[in-house]
Amino acid sequence: MKELQDLDLNLLKLLKAVVETRNTHAAADKLGISQTSVSRGMAKLRETFGDQLFLRKAHGVELQSWQRNLPKRPMKCTPL
């Protein structure tokens, strides 16, 4: 597991696209990048979070059960 402080914040855009589309090919199209780049980015996210993040399905990916309980909208963060 890598340190969260070392996370490339662009990977969060990639994660959002995969969550929204539930498909790495569609996420790549949405972001204007290759599917290979999406796969590499997902590998970095899996390493950072120490979690598979998604379950592979025949026609895309599915959120793992614990992720389905996350809020639909991100929480607002305020500076300390």
pLDDT in tens, the chain (80 residues): 667 777 888 898 998 899 889 899 999 999 999 999 999 999 998 888 887 888 888 778 877 655 555 555 555 655 65
Q: What is the pLDDT of residue 26?
A: 95
| Residues contacting residue 35 through CB under 8 Å, at least 6 positions apart | 24, 25, 28
Q: Tokens 């998604």, residue? A: 54
Q: What is the pLDDT of residue 41?
A: 94
Q: What is the pLDDT of residue 80?
A: 54
Q: Can you tell me the distance from the alpha carbon of 8 to that of 14, in angstroms, rounded to the nearest whole number? A: 11
Q: Can you tell me the distance from the alpha carbon of 56 to that of 74, in angstroms, rounded to the nearest whole number? A: 24
Q: What is the pLDDT of residue 53?
A: 82
Is residue 66 a contact partner of residue 52, using CB atoms and an 8 Å limit? Answer: no
Q: Can you tell me the distance from the alpha carbon of 61 to that of 24, in angstroms, rounded to the nearest whole number? A: 8
